Structure 1
């Protein structure tokens, strides 16, 4: 999919979109209007604000000047994540730290009446390639949205996140809310975007979840689990258990499952309190994104992971963001005390031009965001040390399962 369409579906800041000329040229006006019609169902003010500037841009840049190279070759599916990422690396998405003048607040009155059917229709539309024909006149669409007004930032929106070259996950969230009712589970965080992409595109994870029971800790909006579920036939897990410690967040997780059309699979949404909840079934793989957020939670988190390992879990995959140096220091210290650990430092994915398979799987995180991604391997038992694995330049060299692999920004 052209990058402009991805930026709109991720609610990139409008002022930043219009600062990127090549980004604006990456989609035809017909494609843009089709996506804005989708967005208008849940966020009419954003659609109106973008379209108001876009029609002016169209007048100043006749259609024949728009780069339609994306259309050549009759592409039948979305463009690759790599193409989209390379052009969107500096954009701020999800209305983060934005203001009403940029079209980032949505119309509460209309959204309160949205039904699950409305949301599922919007989500299913997004999963299909956008038509290039200009079926709706942009001026007519703009006129129909003139009454849209920005109200509360707490009203949910429906965002779409890419998880490979042709698949999107739809999430209903409140992206401008950092903490809603005492939880950070109201929005999708950067580390979850990275982990969802890696699990579905990095060759290291090919076959890693075959016939496995997967549990996600602190799932929040459920992006990571939904990303695996959308690619069920690729990963072929036995079951996915989506958990969070907040009961209100857990109540919303079934909607994520339903919006993405994966409710027919064996997926369970449960409240899981670290150090307290006991599960009756064996978990093979533990996932976690942005769950390392404060020194006070590290001990109980490591205890929880150790408990899974003792019960037979094969490994845990943790993706985290470096926000607080003290949290990072304590995380490293406590992990070193309990696990054999190896640190891999990588370039800032937004700024790096070093083209490696690992670094290309970032997404348009907020400028300056530091993303880390780690693997915690069971502290007992050997992992086969093969030449094929060691000689793979994408992965660190290690000889057994007693290693903690942690990627950090240089």
Structure 2
């Protein structure tokens, strides 16, 4: 046992790293195969030539803030091989180190096993997004770092990670709003991060051009809605209804998103108040990532990579609970199997896009309930003095 245990402790971690090394090999072999990075290159090329970035009518193609086009220019200049290599490595590195920081904060027994098992469970759901080079990976890592930095009251770190998250994807504003609600003293820092990101493009192009891009950018953001006739197939909570031919009206979907947002805020505040400070960051980011995947109207199947790693680490944490024998097995199996629904074309056609919002919702809601129960067990009894 003294020989085999370290191997199994690290098996999941090395599978995570090894799979990514295979991804890097595929990127170097064929940069444009199964990749969305060409969209980022196109955005930077359009920015450098002062061409329109957005297709507002179809809301497809380049969907990022103008600052993304600016900051991707150095990678564009490095070419499709080295540039894509560094882009993939950036997203993977940020997400992996965020998970490692979270595990160090959780502490407890066998932290290496906790990280390894969590990454192993998350790998199938995450692998396609890692292969495609999607900004979702960078978004997940930046938002996770922002969560931890905000809870610790680190202003400079919060500013940096908030800026990077907004650049990665505009949906990061959800995490900034939650961070501001958790730590109101950071609101000026978070607002400054948004202003800096908005201001970055003005240093590299004419004011008239940037103003026109922001006009199209905000028009595009406000026009995104549930449209089964359009080219985009959403994989959010509306997908199961769409699969059954029951398209939800836009107003009804908006009401559901709003109510879910209020519930998310309430749960996050409860976690911050009730849970141990070493665990609250994981629980809070899990809830935020769940909302950003299931209730974001611009969700596709690979977006669920954002919630995969926090869900995997949460299940690994749950694994320590002896009372949760059956539940932990079911959650682990469901998360791992969810990522396997696209390994074959026939399976993909059968499960896309309705299955992931259902399976991830089941996993997240069970874990949220477990975190709430865990928090209530640590609350002081009625009539006791909470702070001595």
Alignment TM class, shorter chain as reference:
under 0.3
What TM-score, normalized to structure 2? Answer: 0.27
What TM-score, normalized to structure 1? Answer: 0.26
Structure (1/2) with the larger strand percentage: 1
Structure (1/2) with the larger helix percentage: 2
* Highest RCO, 1 vs 2 (Cα 8 Å, sep ≥ 6): 2
